[in-house]
Structures are given as structure tokens and as C-alpha cells.
Structure 1
Amino acid sequence: MLGWHVPRPDEAMLISGGKRTGTPFKIIIGHGSFVLPLRSRVSYLTLSMQEAEVAEECVTKQGIAVNVKAVIAFKVGADPEGIANAAQRFLGSEDKMSVLTGRIFAGHLRSIIGSMTVEEIIRERQRLAEEALEASKLEMSKIGLVVDALQIESIDDMGSGYIKALAAPHVAEVQRAARVAQAQADQASAEAEQLSQRKQAEYERQTAIARAGFKAETDKAQATAAQAGPLAEAQATQDVLDAQTELAQRNASLRQEQLVAEVLRPAQAEAQKIKILADAEADRLRRLSEAGAANDRVALDQQLIAQLPEMLRAAADSLQNANLTVLGGSDGLGDLVSGLAAQGLNLFEALRGSVGQPDARRGDGNAAASRGPNGADLAALTGGNGGSVAGPPQPRPIEEGRKA
């Protein structure tokens, strides 16, 4: 529309012309305005952020020259007074704002750095920036500018080595700490590696032991399986031998009992019978002997007869405890007992004969001694009972005495 003007958001529109009080021009920000042609004039002042750099050589309180670099961010003030001040000074030559701002701050930096040491400048950069802003605030407001930020970029001792010398102890300490930390890190790494190797070696050892144990168990199981057949066969053979041994022992026990029943007990019974018969015979002979006690021969026979039961009893006792093997069963046992009885009678006759031999040489004087009280022959008396005792033919010493 003709005569209607609208400024940009970062601009201030200045309308000059006509009669005004206060400011010499009308300031429009953020909206449009109608401007009469030929009667008014329109100008624009930027309100955007601008930048100024400062690189100034300064001397510290210690007399050490340093080069300070800083950056200033500023703009035109947003209030009407600031816009009016800036428009009156920079309208049409806004580039001069950066130059003038840099010079203003360079002067203030020289003044502030001259009252500080290098150490303070290095340690207290924020203080330096704040003091510079505070010192320049009045001047900047007079020219309609506002500083948003001031940043100290670098401080250089211009080759004197002072700053480097200040940093040397700290650098050395830092380097020492770094070396110590690196050594500790290397040691920790070595210890960790050695621990890992020890653990790996221990694991390998345990694995080898476990493998050896498994192999031993496997070998043992295989050997046991291989020996199972021979062991079972040997056990079966041993069982057969044990059964055969037990059977043999049972057979031997049965045979022993059979021998006891068939041989020993009948022998003991027969021996007891012989003993009883011998006692009876001895008693009968003793009575016969007592009947003819007047005869010396009868007395002698009585003594022999008295000894005969003892001899027969001794023989029976020896048979009772003897371990004999009798052939022929009960018949052989009867023959044995009959032979023993016959031998006892033969012994008796032999003793009678040996005692009666002197009488036979003297004639028939003692011939009657071989006879009993009734003139019966003693040999006939010993066998006249017709008992079970039998033996070989009896010697006849009386008849031999008669022939003599």
C-alpha cells in the first residue's frame, strides 16, 4: 500500500519529518506505520546481535607483558532511548559499532589487567570479564549499545615463558601422577593377566584331573567287564567244588555213622557179651576149684582161673576202644570174638601145662591134680558147658605125664 511501511523483526523503523517533541524521529518496532510521502522520511536501524574482537597487549601488575584476546557480543538497546542514541551515532554506518566497541573494551582490559598478576588473570578470568563489563556499561549505554557477553579467549605471555614456567610444576606433578597412574594401571593389568593365567592353569589342571579320573573309572569299568566272564566261571567252578566237598563230607559222615552202627556197636556188644560169659565161666571154675581145694593142683588152677577173667576183660576193653576194620560184617566179627575166647583158653592151658610139667616127671603122683574132685578132666570142664566159646584142640598135659 502506498505510504505504508513495516520494519523487519530485527529492525527499528525511524520516521523523521514533521514537528515532534522529545525525540527527533518516531521509532516503530514490530508493526507498520503510514508515512506521508514527501513529508516524512523512513530509515531503518538494525537491532541484531553483533560481534567485536579484541587483541590487546597489556602489562600486568608484575610488569609482565601479556597478549589478551577477547570476544564481545553486543547489540543496540531495545528501549527507545538506546535506539535513539545508536541511531544518532551509527545510522548509515553500523559497521563502526564493532570498531568502537572493541576500542572501548581494549582500554578497560588494559586498565584492569594492570591491577592483576598473571596468576590472577589465569585463575580469575571470570572476574576479569565481569570487571570489564561493569567498567564499560556506562559508556556503552551512552552510545545506545548493550553488551550481552564478554569472553576472554586467551592470555599469552608473548614468549617470556612465564606462564609455561608457572605450569611446569603442575605439569610435572600431572605427568608424575599420570606415570604413577599408568604404572598402577600396568601393574593392575599385569596382575589381572597373571591371575587370569593362574585361573586358566588351575582350570586346566582340574580338567586334566577330572579327565584322568574319568579315564580311570572307564578303564576300571572295562577291566571289570572283561573279568566278569572269567570271574563268573571261576565262581561257578568254586561253587561246584564247594558242593562236591560238602557232598563228600556228608558221605564221609554217613559212612562213619554206618561203620559205627554196623561194626563198632556190634563189636562193643559182643565184647560185653564175652566179658559176661567170661565172668560167669570164671565164677563156675572158681566154685569147682573151691570144691577141690585140698588138692594143690586145684589151688594152682584156681589161681590161673582167677587171672583169666582179668585177661579176658583187658582184651575186651582193648577191643572196645580200638579202631578196627572188620571184614565180612557180623560173621567176621563173630569169628574175631571166637578167636579171642579160644586164645584165652589156650593161654590158660599153656599156663597149666607149664606149671604141671614137673609133676609129670615125678610120675603119676600129681596126676590127680589135673582132675576135679570127681576125677573129671579140667579141659573137659572148661569146654564141657557147650557154650559159644570154641577154639583149637586143647593140650593134654595129663596124658603126656602118664606116658612118661
Structure 2
Amino acid sequence: MFGYRVPAPDEAMLISGGRSKGDAPFRVVTGHGAYITPLFRKVRFLTLAMCEAEVEETCVTQQGISLNVRAVIAFKVGNDTESIISAGQRFLSDQDQMSVLTGRIFAGHLRSIIGSMTVEQIIKERQKLATEVLDGSKEEMVKIGLTVDALQIQSIDDGSLGYIRAMSAPHNAAIQQQAQIAQARANQAAAEAEQESQRNQAQYARQTAIVQAQYKAEVDKAQAEAAQAGPLAQAQAQREVLAMQTELAQRAAELRQQELVSEVVKPAEADAERVRILAVAEAEKMKIQAEAAASHNRVALDRLLIDQLPEIVRQAAQGLSGANLTVLNGADGLSEIATGLVGQGLAIYDSLRDSLGQHEPTEEATDRGELNPRPAPGEDL
């Protein structure tokens, strides 16, 4: 459109010739366009891009030592309207003067700051020097509408005085000493490694010689053994046959001993054990019968005899049955014979009772667990 102007992204458009807001001498437009009335308005553009200024200045330190300092400053016009107006009023017609003026401002502050410091401080605290120079020049830069983004001190030297070199001499000496020590250690390590390598080679040579000697000795021994293999093998075979025959004889003897034990000793031991067991059983039986007999009272003994009385009479009758007897008085005679048999049975019964009664325990002895013989007939109690 005719009369419509638009500034670049890194430019500020300054419009003069008309009224502006406030006390501003001209109108500032950034980031968008504006309509310009021909003949009544005038338009100029101020750069907002980054600019660079270099400073090479000879400064005297607190110690009176001259130092050549080189620094680089990165700056630009401020983005606010007040900064653009201040920079436009000073640099719009010759914008290259911004770099020149900025360099002079920083050179002055650089001389002032370095004059209050020693060489050692400047060398060791270079960042502190840059910060103090920035802080000292910030106010002046704001007045002319400029802002500083960075200050970089590139180099500091004393020309041909050699002061800085003398400062570094102790450090260089220490570094060189450490380097020499490190080199000496490296040389020593290399020499030790070489010596170790030589020792290893000598050891390897010795071991090789030993191995070769052992190998030769083994070869000679093998050859000698091979030469004697026939007789030695035969003798060894005979020894092995004798050893096997001796072992077989020992095994046969052991087997025969086992057979004898199985055929003679074991059966004898079995018979002896059987006899011993029977004897023990018989003794136990007699003991039990004795204890049983001792434990029975008189009534049980009489009962036993009474129960056996018929058998006694019967046996007596059988004895008479084989005898040649003549009965003269008939039935009376038979009655007398029967009566006699019964009487004999009773007599036998009394005799057995008296005989067994001599070994019957008394009641008191039974209570105490003792066995006392019964007194025989006619003895005093």
C-alpha cells in the first residue's frame, strides 16, 4: 500500500514530522508497520542487532607495571522505547559510532579498574576484572541507550618486561620438576621392565635347557628299558604268575576254613546250644513244678490223692487178676477181697499223704515265702 512502511525484525522505525505521545521527539514503531503520510512524515530506521566493539588498551597496575589488555564487548540498542529514543538521538545519522563510543567507555573503565589491582590479582581473577568493568560502565551505557550482553578479556601481557613470565617461573619450575620426576620414573620403569624381560629370557633359556636335558634323559632311559624289555618282561611275568598262584592258594585256604566252620563248628555249636536250651527249660520246668507243689495247701494234696485212689485200687485189682487165687466162701469171700483191696488203697493213700506231708509248707511259712518241712510222725512240735 502506498505510504505504509514496515520495519525489519531487528530494526526500530522512527517516524518524525508529526505529534507523538508524551514528550518523545518522534514516534517509535517496532514489530509492526505504520502508515506514513508522504511529504508530512519522515521515516528512519535504527538497528537493534547485536554489535561488537574491541578494546586494546595499555593499563598500569597498582604496582606501576604496564599491561596490554585486549577485550571484546558485545552490545546492542535497548529494546524499550526510551533506550531507542536515546540511541536514535545520538547514533541515527552515524550508527557506526556506537562501537567506537562503547570501546572508549570500556577502555576508560578498564584502565581505572586495572589501576586498583595487582598483576597477580589480574592474572588470577580475570573474571572479577570483567565483572567490575561491566558494573562500572553499565550506567553510562544506559544513558546512551545501549545494553551490554557480554565482556570477554581476550589477552593480558606485559610486553617485554617479563613480569608475568617471572610470576609463572616457580610454577613452570615445579611443573618441569614434576615432568622430570615423571620422566625419571618412566625411565626407571622402562629399565626395570627391560631387566625383567632379560631375567625372563634367561629363566626361559634355563628352563628350556632343563627340559631338554630331562627329555634326553627320558629318551635314554626309554631306550635302555627297551633294550632290557625282553628279560625284564619275562621276569615280571613270572613274578606275576607266582603272585597269582599265591593269591589263589590263600583264597583256597580261606574257602576251606569257611567250609570247615560251616560243616563242623556251626553244627556243634547248634547242638550245644540246643542241649543248653533243653537243660534250661527242664530246670525251669522243675522249678515251676516245685513252686506249684509248694504253693498248694493240704486240701489240694488230699484232693489229688483221693482222685488217684480209684486208680490205685484198680492197679491192685489188676495185679490180683493175674494171680492164681481160690475163693472158698463164695460171695462173702469176694466181699472180703474187695474190702481188703479198698483197705490196701486207703493204706497206700495214708502212706503217700504222710510222705508228701513232710514237704508241705506251713501256712505261716507260706505267708513269709519260706518252706519248712512238716514234722514226721512221733516228733515233737
TM-score normalised by the chain length of structure 1: 0.53
Task: Name structure 2 gaps, 5 residues minimum.
Answer: 243-381
Instruction: Tell me the equivalent position of 2:173.
Output: 172
- What RMSD, in angstroms, separates the aligned Cα atoms of the two structures? 2.7
Cα deviation code 1:72-127 (max 9, x no counterpart): 11111122211111111111312111111111111111111111111111111111
State the alpha-carbon separation in 2 of the partners of residues 125 and 164 from structure 1: 17
Please identify, of 3-12 and 217-226, the stretch whose mean Cα deviation from structure 2 is larger. 217-226
Corresponding residue number in structure 1 for 2:309: none
Assess if the C-alpha contact under 8 Å between 2:19 and 2:26 holds in 1.
no
Partner Cα separation in structure 2 for residue 192 and residue 168 of structure 1: 35
Distance 2:157 2:92 in 1: 37
Q: Report the Cα distance in structure 2 between the residues aligned to 1:3 and 1:216, rounded to whole angstroms.
A: 117
Greater displacement, 175-184 / 126-135: 175-184
After TM superposition, the structure 1 = structure 2 runs for residues 52-71 of structure 1, keeping only pairs within 5 Å, are 52-71=53-72
Cα deviation per residue 1:293-349 (whole Å; 9 max; x = unaligned)?
A: xxxxxxxxxxxxxxxxxxxxxxxxxxxxxxxxxxxxxxxxxxxxxxxxxxxxxxxxx
**8 Å contact 2:51–2:99 — kept in the other structure?**
yes
State the match for 2:365 in structure 1: none
Output the amino acid matched with 2:13.
M
| Alpha-carbon distance change, 209 to 159 in structure 1, aligned in 2, over 3 angstroms | same
Secondary structure of 1:37's aligned partner: coil
SS at match of 1:69: strand
2:111 paired with 1:148: no
Query: Unaligned regions of 5+ residues in structure 1, if any?
Result: 243-404
Look up the equivalent residue of 1:77 and give its one-letter code. Answer: G
Q: Matched residues in 2 for 1:105 and 1:235: separation?
A: 113
Match of 1:270 in 2: none
The residue type equivalent to 2:125 in the other structure is E
Q: 2:16 — aligned with what?
A: 16
Query: Structure 1: how far apart are the matches of 2:215 and 2:36?
Result: 107
Whether contact under 8 Å (2:65, 2:158) holds in the other structure is yes
Q: Retained in 1: the 8 A contact 2:58–2:66? A: yes
Q: Residues of 2 paired with 1:190 and 1:96: CA distance?
A: 68
Give how far 1:223 is off: 4.2
Separation (CA, whole Å) in 2 of partners of 1:80 and 1:124:
37
Q: Percent identity of the aligned residues? A: 67
Question: Any conservation in 1 of the 2:53–2:99 contact (CA below 8 Å)?
Answer: yes
Query: Residue in 2 aligned with 1:385?
Result: none
Residue 20 of structure 2 corresponds to residue 26 of structure 1: no
Name 1:104's counterpart in structure 2.
Answer: 105
Contact 2:48 2:79 in 1 (8 A): yes
1:226 and 1:3 mapped to 2: Cα distance?
128
Distance 1:230 1:149, change over 3 A: same
Q: Alignment partner of 1:39: what SS?
A: coil
The Cα shift of 1:195 comes to 3.0
SS of residue matched to 2:106: helix
Q: Which amino acid aligns with 2:150?
A: A
Compute the displacement of 1:188 (Å): 2.3
Q: CA deviation at 1:183?
A: 1.0
Which residue identity is paired with 1:78?
N
SS of the residue aligned with 1:183? Answer: helix
In the other structure, the counterpart of 2:90 is 89
Equivalent residue letter for 2:16 = S
Q: Amino acid of the residue matched to residue 199 of structure 2?
A: R
Match of 1:4 in 2: 4
Q: 2:15 is aligned with what amino acid?
A: I
Pairwise CA distance, 1:134: 0.6
CA drift at 1:58 = 1.5
Q: Residues 92 and 217 from structure 1, CA distance in 2 versus in 1: closer, same or farther, beyond 3 angstroms?
A: farther
Distance 1:102 1:230, change over 3 A: same
Task: Name the counterpart of 1:183.
Answer: 184
How many residue pairs align between the two structures?
239
Query: Could you tell me how far 1:36 is from its partner in structure 2?
Result: 3.1
